[in-house]
Amino acid sequence: MRHLKAGIIFLLTLLAFAGYTPQDVYNPQQVTRLALTLAMTEGRLDIDDYAALTVDLAEHEGHFYADKPPGLSLLAVPAVALTRHLLGAPTGVLDREQFPLAMIAAVLSTVGLLAALATSVLYLLCRRLGVPDAAALFAAAALALGTPFFGWSTAFFAHAATGSLLLLALALTVWSRGRVGAWIPPVLGLLLGFTLTMDLVAAPAVAVIALYYLFGERERLLARLAGASLGGVAGLLPLLVYNQMVFGSPFTLGYSQVVGFEGMKQGLFGLTVPDPIVIGEVLFGLHRGLLPLAPVLLLLPLGWLRMGQRPDLRSLAAVTLGVALCFLLVNASYFYWDGGSSTGPRHLVGMLPVLAVVLAFAWPRTAAGRAGALALLGVSVLISAACAATYMFADVRFPAPFFDPILDVIVFEGAWVRVLNTMVPAAGFAVLATLRERPSGLQRDQLAA
């Protein structure tokens, strides 16, 4: 039953993401990534054809290239190539009718697909860790529908996809405990390595999960290290090859050739020292704060407390906290910490799938507590749906984007109709909560006569 539920969760969340895809098609970062995908379908790597549509560029030897790591663009190549073929435009610059269709294909085949998969795996992981079915469903619904993960799963940005791969790697690590399988270390390494090919900012979090895997068990440490390292190199290979082909060195990044954005020249590509004020803003502020957009995350301390009370879960609790701190400190160190045009702190989205594991343990044990938790979830879902239905790229000049322009558009321009799209997957989660697992044959034999 739980695997059937996981499959339904996958379909529900993919449906939810599809309902709001694409976001602003001509957002510069999306254009840059899709331009690289389109170039790859033609056997090129420069994005000269679309350079006039974006400011996120790297310039090298008279050509323009994407300044982002190539992983997400590479994943989108099959779907975008098929879309171009169906549109009858296998080569050349796409027009204003074709470009949005290519964007939809790119988002749903990469970010949306990975985010839906991560949500279903989250449910299975929580059940494996021993939480009740209702708690696992609560965590999955909160991640997919009640946090900024929702809106960023409908955009051609790497944040949600990065968090999804981190969650898959963490789930594989937990599942592998006590198992011997030669395929596990290289697959885990591949997941973590390719995460960096999509998003180098995730490097500290990748290191935390890698260490958790390597030192969570003492058996076969060298074999697991060798296998994971081999897989990690394979996952990083597309990035190294891309850098070599474009910039003449596997270790030269697009960020080092960025056009404009002088702040990227400070420290390590814009990373300096964490600013406590920024930490407060990205957690609590109305401008870019996470908690005002996802009040359900207020339950996280309770989840960590309960995990810490179980000796078998303390290391996992430390890993989830470590991943959160990695993203938080990197965001607080970044010159462009507010993410430019962004609804909420987009640089923190990568930690949300891992934190959703903690939410499962925060599921209250009393009826009153559960009613309160569901109320928080309901408010969070409405907020997330409102953001996804209107502006995921709120201009940096808005001091409190949720109230202006998002709420204004919802109330005065009728965008509340689009918010209702979320009610279908939300109702699906509610129906799943009413389905009880049938006991296995062994369990039935143990029931009282």
What sign has the CA pseudo-torsion 301, 306, 309, 311?
A: negative
Question: Is 50 exceeded by the pLDDT of residue 436?
Answer: yes
Domain that holds residue 394: 2-437
Per-residue CA distances from 137 to 126, 144, 230, 419 (Å): 9, 11, 35, 21
d(CA 65, CA 45): 7
Q: What percent of the chain has pLDDT over 70?
A: 97
Per-residue CA distances from 119 to 89, 167, 360, 379, 439 (Å): 35, 9, 13, 20, 24
d(CA 319, CA 322): 5
Helix axes 28-41, 98-107, angle to 10 degrees: 90
**Is residue 49 situated within a structural domain?**
yes
pTM: predicted TM-score of the whole model, two decimal places: 0.95
pLDDT per residue as tens digits for the range 31-50: 999 999 999 999 999 999 99
323 CB neighbour count, 10 Å cutoff: 28
Q: CA nearest 72: which of 165, 144, 9, 168?
A: 165
Residue 163, C-beta contacts closer than 8 angstroms, at least 6 positions apart: 118, 149, 349, 350, 351, 352, 353, 354
Q: What percent of the chain has pLDDT over 90?
A: 85
Where does the pLDDT of residue 403 fall: very low under 50, low under 70, confident under 90, or very high at 90 and above?
very high
**Is residue 442 situated within a structural domain?**
no
Residue 79, C-beta contacts closer than 8 angstroms, at least 6 positions apart: 105, 106, 108, 109, 110
pLDDT at residue 442, rounded to an integer: 41
Strand partners for 60: 63
Looking only at Cα atoms, what is the longest distance across the chain? 81
pLDDT at residue 438, rounded to an integer: 64
Q: Coil, helix or strand for 60?
A: strand
Per the prediction, the chain carries an average pLDDT of 93
pLDDT per residue as tens digits for the range 344-388: 999 999 999 999 999 999 999 999 999 999 999 999 999 999 999
Number of domains forming the structure of the chain: 1
The two three-digit tokens of residue 108, written as one number: 């749903």
pLDDT at residue 443, rounded to an integer: 43
Q: CA nearest 283: which of 320, 323, 332?
A: 332
Q: Coil, helix or strand for 415?
A: coil
d(CA 239, CA 379): 40
d(CA 412, CA 194): 44
Angle ∠(92,84,32) on CA atoms, nearest 5: 65
Among 19-28, 190-199, 257-266, 419-428, the least confident range:
257-266
Could you identify the residue written with the tokens 């702040």? 263
Q: Coil, helix or strand for 64?
A: strand
**Is residue 448 situated within a structural domain?**
no
Residue 286 sits at φ, ψ, to 5 deg, of -75, -20
**Is residue 60 situated within a structural domain?**
yes
DSSP label of 287: T
Sequence-ordered strand ranges (E) for 288-392:
none
d(CA 270, CA 47): 24
Q: CA nearest 320: which of 101, 133, 107, 169?
A: 169
**Is residue 123 situated within a structural domain?**
yes
Question: Is 90 exceeded by the pLDDT of residue 447?
Answer: no
pLDDT at residue 439, rounded to an integer: 56
Question: Is 60 exceeded by the pLDDT of residue 444?
Answer: no
d(CA 342, CA 404): 13
Question: Is 60 exceeded by the pLDDT of residue 90?
Answer: yes
pLDDT per residue as tens digits for the range 248-261: 999 988 877 787 77
**Is residue 433 situated within a structural domain?**
yes
**Is residue 446 situated within a structural domain?**
no
**Is residue 122 situated within a structural domain?**
yes
Question: Is 70 exceeded by the pLDDT of residue 441?
Answer: no
- State the Rg of the chain over Cα: 22
